[in-house]
Amino acid sequence: MRADPIQRAVDEDLVRVLYAQDPIAFCTHWFSIAVLVAIYWGDIPAPHLFVACFTFYAAANCAGLGLWMFHRRWPQAVAPRDWINLHALRGVLLYLAPGASIWFAFHSSHTDLPVLHTVMLVTLAAGVFMSNGFDVINFATAIPILLLPSIILHLSAHTFDRTILAIVLAFFFCAINVYSASYRRLFRKVVEARVDQQYLAESLAAQKLVAEEASLAKTRFFAAASHDLRQPLHAIGLLAASLNDPLATPSQHAQTADHIARNVEALNQLFNQVLDLARLESGVTQVIRMHFRLSELFERVGNQYRPQAAARGLALRIAPTTAVIYDDPVLLERVLSNLLSNAVRYTEDGAIWMGFRRSGRRDGGFIEVRDSGIGIPEREHGRIFEEFYQVANPQRDARQGHGLGLPTVRRLVLLLGGDLTLRSAPGRGSTFRFPVQAGDPGRIVASLNDAPVPEISSTRGRRVLCIDDDPSILQGLSSLLGRWGCVVQGVHDEAQALRAIADGFAPDAVLCDYQLANHRTGAEALQAVRAALLRHGHTQTVTLLITGDMASSELEALAAQGIPVLHKPVTAARLRRTLEMLWQRAGRGAGQDTGASGGAGGGADSGEAAACDTLPHS
């Protein structure tokens, strides 16, 4: 994985090192030319050849400087490896003349000249070792050209001292080759360490950037969330204070109470949206797939939004489809609801279209929600999926939403294994699209739109055991359930609950808070209560845990125990619908459950009953 970047870094460093020495080498070679010409000056053998040889040497030296200047001016003209090869070619041309010109020494009458020339060559070889030893090609082409002719000519002189000189030269040749090899290994290690360090620094910088962005996003999230939560709270505070006004008429009181209820509902909806997102983030939302007709889901969601669309003068068109898909209808319904609600909200006139397209897919296809609305500028396409981000609501008017719909949709689609895509431009409407898997018509168990069997949907006469260590919550729950006609027994802990059962109270439902006194959890209490109920032969009792806890491990444990969970704050309507659903299912028997999300038999909350105030269809 890292081999290529390292080789490239080695090459880049080699180019730097090789070319950095060239101006010095240029001067050295002029000095060498001058010295060699000077020592041969008294007796120049084969003058024409000599002039040609040294002219070539001087020209090659100038060409070498030309290459250096070219590299300096246009360093990116060729790849680093090519610069290295060009430098090696320069070396071959440059060292050819001094290496071969020792032949003149052996054809001169001066017996000292071969030794003097050899000393000059050894000096040049030492320079090559220092400046080109890092690169095998530059080194391996220059050194033999410089030294081999000299070794051969000294050996072929057949005298004792020349043979010794040839042996010393050969030893020098081998030694600098060995040193150069270890020199290269060291060089590579240094470059590797530098690249690693650079890589580390870059990844640290990238991580820092991600952390900073995450922290910024979190700050934005909390700023927007606290604003959106404060607004209704502030209104509730003011309205509640006005309830104390002795001059207010009963109808004004009723109006104030109505406003308070509406603000509480708004607050509750916001909480639910945030909790929904948190649940999706924490991974406790279960996907329960089934085979069903897509047209039934379209009909169901379409019916919810047709009145709103009509009220705004918009046509809501649902493309007829015979497609059967294999997906989680409850989660899919939440996706479509969010997309349709946005389409209605951001379309002034024209139409909204929802349909299924195969788009060339053999297995499944895509669901599309399209509108002819205001559209979204391209630069906002990424940001609208951030929590609390809205394109045009700087005053954060809660009536225009909170910017949590699309983040939820995107996470839901991801959870279902797809990818949400958006095509939109200002004034040209928006199209949201995501893939769905094909289902098997032969495996459809029930219609999505079957009406729930109204077996035991009423709460009247039901016996409910409430366990909560907070007296005010116990009081609130008891009076609410009492108003629904339930017979309520409120207890503070597990021991009192067991005593009530032992005393003959046979509950149809047990509601339990999660955090109880004496370090007991609701899950533990419910386990004990269930065991006691079974001992007394009460097999139809449903249990429900109410928690403000979002820790996924806790919820997973509860799901494993088959205990349905509701998250605080729990509205009266949600509690009632959940209880009715649980009683209905208990009445039908667990075996007939078709497995919609968050079934009575368990599931981390969850389900939709808790999450969005709708009942799962079974």
User: Nearest CA to 114 among 163, 72, 71, 180?
Assistant: 163
CB of 342 to ligand ADP, least distance (A): 3
User: Is residue 420 close enough to count as binding ligand ADP by CB under 6 A?
Assistant: no
User: Is residue 384 close enough to count as binding ligand ADP by CB under 6 A?
Assistant: yes
User: Is residue 83 close enough to count as binding ligand ADP by CB under 6 A?
Assistant: no
User: Is residue 337 close enough to count as binding ligand ADP by CB under 6 A?
Assistant: no
The kind and range of the H/E element at 154 are helix 136-156
Q: Which residue in 141, 430, 521, 547 binds ligand ADP (CB under 6 A)?
A: 430
Q: Give 264: exposed, middle or buried? Use CB within 10 Å, 0-12, 13-18, 19+.
A: middle
Q: Which stretch binds ligand ADP (CB under 6 A): 130-138, 395-403, 477-485, 572-580?
A: 395-403
Q: Which residue in 9, 120, 343, 466 binds ligand ADP (CB under 6 A)?
A: 343
Instruction: Identify the three-state secondary structure at position 565.
Output: strand
User: Is residue 61 close enough to count as binding ligand ADP by CB under 6 A?
Assistant: no
CB of 618 to ligand ADP, least distance (A): 29
Rounded distance between C-alpha atoms, residue 436 and residue 55, angstroms:
79
The residue type at 413:
V
C-beta atoms surrounding 232 within 10 Å: 20
User: Which residue number, 405 or 607, has a Cβ lying nearer to ligand ADP?
Assistant: 405
User: Is residue 391 close enough to count as binding ligand ADP by CB under 6 A?
Assistant: yes
* Distances 38 to 42, 52, 55, 409, 574 between C-alpha atoms, Å: 8, 16, 15, 87, 107
User: Is residue 346 close enough to count as binding ligand ADP by CB under 6 A?
Assistant: yes
The kind and range of the H/E element at 355 are strand 351-357
Rounded distance between C-alpha atoms, residue 311 and residue 433, angstroms:
25
Q: Which residue in 14, 376, 465, 542 binds ligand ADP (CB under 6 A)?
A: 376
Beta strand residue intervals within 476-540, DSSP E: 487-491, 509-513
User: Is residue 403 close enough to count as binding ligand ADP by CB under 6 A?
Assistant: yes
Q: Which stretch binds ligand ADP (CB under 6 A): 64-72, 180-188, 290-298, 392-400?
A: 392-400
User: Is residue 94 close enough to count as binding ligand ADP by CB under 6 A?
Assistant: no
Q: Which stretch binds ligand ADP (CB under 6 A): 44-52, 338-346, 497-505, 573-581?
A: 338-346
User: Which residue number, 397 or 455, has a Cβ lying nearer to ligand ADP?
Assistant: 397
The kind and range of the H/E element at 58 are helix 47-73
Please list the alpha-helical segments (H only) found in 157-293: 160-242, 250-282
Q: Which stretch binds ligand ADP (CB under 6 A): 260-268, 278-286, 302-310, 368-376?
A: 368-376
Helices and strands (H and E) in the chain: how many: 18, 12
* Distances 488 to 464, 510, 536 between C-alpha atoms, Å: 5, 10, 19
Site for ligand ADP in 527-546 (CB under 6 A): none
User: Is residue 340 close enough to count as binding ligand ADP by CB under 6 A?
Assistant: no
Q: Which residue in 401, 507, 599, 603 binds ligand ADP (CB under 6 A)?
A: 401
User: Which residue number, 293 or 402, has a Cβ lying nearer to ligand ADP?
Assistant: 402
User: Which residue number, 99 or 403, has a Cβ lying nearer to ligand ADP?
Assistant: 403
Is residue 512 within 8 Å of 544, Cβ to Cβ?
yes
CB of 408 to ligand ADP, least distance (A): 8
Rounded distance between C-alpha atoms, residue 107 and residue 145, angstroms:
19
The torsion angles phi and psi of 41, rounded to 5 degrees, stand at -55, -40
User: Which residue number, 390 or 597, has a Cβ lying nearer to ligand ADP?
Assistant: 390
Rounded distance between C-alpha atoms, residue 63 and residue 473, angstroms:
93
C-beta atoms surrounding 289 within 10 Å: 18
Q: Which token pair is 514?
A: 């999660």
Instruction: Find the residue with minimal CB distance to ligand ADP.
Output: 401
Count of residues in contact with ligand ADP, rule CB under 6 A? 22
User: Which residue number, 343 or 546, has a Cβ lying nearer to ligand ADP?
Assistant: 343
Give the dihedral sign, CA 479/481/486/491: negative
Q: Which residue in 232, 405, 507, 599 binds ligand ADP (CB under 6 A)?
A: 405
User: Which residue number, 426 or 471, has a Cβ lying nearer to ligand ADP?
Assistant: 426
User: Is residue 404 close enough to count as binding ligand ADP by CB under 6 A?
Assistant: yes
Report the relative pairing of strands 421-424 and 430-436 from DSSP bridges: antiparallel
User: Which residue number, 236 or 404, has a Cβ lying nearer to ligand ADP?
Assistant: 404
Residues that bind ligand ADP (CB under 6 A): 342-343, 346, 371, 373-376, 384, 390-393, 400-407, 430
